[in-house]
Structure 1
Amino acid sequence: MGKNDFLTPKAIANRIKAKGLQKLKWYCQMCEKQCRDENGFKCHCMSESHQRQMYVFGQNPDRFVDGYSQEFENSFLEHIKRTHRFSRVAATVVYNEYIADRHHIHMNSTQWATLTECIKYLGRTGKCKVDETPKGWFITFIDREPETLLKESLKNKRVRSDLAEEERHEREIQGQIERAEKLVVQPGVNSSSPEPPPDLTKAESIPNG
């Protein structure tokens, strides 16, 4: 190999491929190794180093899966908090942004087989608000930071205070209306007394002609 092979188009293309995001299914989480294609992944799986890692994994697989799941969840939520803290966004958009980092924890090493399962889990545990639409799943981060919770509590307190003040004002207006109606309709007012009927007996006693 010549000393200038480092600058050949093929070498440059290989470095670009190695630097970019590769197929997720050809990534070994235990060895933290990304393979370029299916053949490379098969060769890696038959390697001695991979076999040693799989032996360690086989001793306590639940511990590894739980650990990777927790790491994935924490980093995924941290990404949502950092980039879409106050927004409702499509879950696929968040996931594609998250996996853009080639060193992320891969989902195929967690307890969730699909993104939908992971999103449903975040909704059940109250860590995110999720809803399914014809366009797919959407996710909203639920901020539980003490500072945010304090602001939310103060906001709710102000809203309750405003509602109570509005109700009190309405009661005062209603009371004024009722008092005004009582003043208008008073007993013994002359204008409301009926006129006496005419005395028909006197009219009959008057002689004719």
Structure 2
Amino acid sequence: MGKNDFLTPKAIANRIKAKGLQKLRWYCQMCQKHCRDENGFKCHCMSESHQRQMQIFGENSNRIVDGNSEEFEQSFLDLMKRSHRFSRIAATVVYNEYINDRHHVLMNSTEWATLTEFVKHLGRTGKCKVEETPKGWFITYIDRDSETLSRRG
């Protein structure tokens, strides 16, 4: 058997590690690259491709942050629409479901620093009904599609 064999214990362990979610601490949103540890992340940050991405970000940071914010909001609302269309649910529950997707947009690459700020934004823009309770923030998806259909019919 060769050193780089597919069925070696090391190769199997590496595939298992790569399969699951890793710590967000070593994730580069700009390059969409996940590193397994601090050393890997450090090496990635020194790489030429990362430096190019950061230069691009520096040239038009507002456009990139706005794009990430829009994508985050759309994905979050799509999840609400699919899974919790007619229910009042804790914002943290929906957020935890959202981050279970391995390829989600990180909140710290958007214009919102916290989930609370994002939830308040959804309330201000009328996309969700928002309530603050002692148990946290609760949101209810406002279904515009069925609203417009019922007005026409």
Deviations 1:50-86 (A, max 9, x none): 0000001100100100011001111110011001000
Q: Which residue of 2 aligns with 1:23?
A: 23
Q: Name the structure 2 match of 1:74.
A: 74
* SS of residue paired to 1:5: coil
Question: Could you tell me which residue of structure 1 aligns to residue 58 of structure 2?
Answer: 58
Gaps of 5+ in 2: none
- Name the SS for the 1:92 alignment partner: helix
Report the alpha carbon displacement of residue 3 of structure 1 after superposing the two structures with TM: 5.8
Report how far residue 39 of structure 1 moved. Answer: 2.2
Letter in 2 for 1:104: H
TM-score (norm 2): 0.91
Distance 2:110 2:72 in 1: 8
- Per chain length, whose mean CA-contact separation is higher, i.e. which structure has more relative contact order (CA < 8 Å, sep 6+)? 2
Q: 3-state SS of the aligned residue for 1:108?
A: helix
Distance in 2 between the 1:11 and 1:133 partners? 48
Structure 1 residue 10: deviation in Å?
A: 2.6
Letter of the aligned partner of 2:96 in structure 1?
Answer: N
Distance 1:22 1:64 in 2: 24
Q: Which residue of 1 aligns with 2:2?
A: 2
Whichever of the two has the greater Rg, that structure is 1
Which amino acid is 2:147 matched to? Answer: T
- Check 1:57–1:4 CA distance in 2 against 1; reply closer, same or farther (3 A cut): closer
- Structure 2: how far apart are the matches of 1:60 and 1:30? 13
Give the SS at the match of 2:126.
coil
Equivalent position of 2:148 in the other structure: 149
In structure 1, what is the Cα distance between the partners aligned to 2:7 and 2:41? 27
Q: Does the residue aligned with 2:144 lie in a helix, a strand or coil?
A: coil
Question: By how many angstroms is 1:121 displaced?
Answer: 0.9
How far apart are the structure 2 equivalents of 1:52 and 1:4?
A: 32
Q: Is residue 105 of structure 2 the alignment partner of residue 126 of structure 1?
A: no
Matched, 1:109 2:109: yes
SS at match of 2:138: strand
Percent identity over the alignment? 78
Q: Which residue of 1 aligns with 2:90?
A: 90
Shift, 1:36, TM fit: 1.4
Query: Separation in 1 of the partners of 2:44 and 2:9?
Result: 26
State the shift of 1:6 in Å: 2.0
What residue number does 1:139 align with? 139
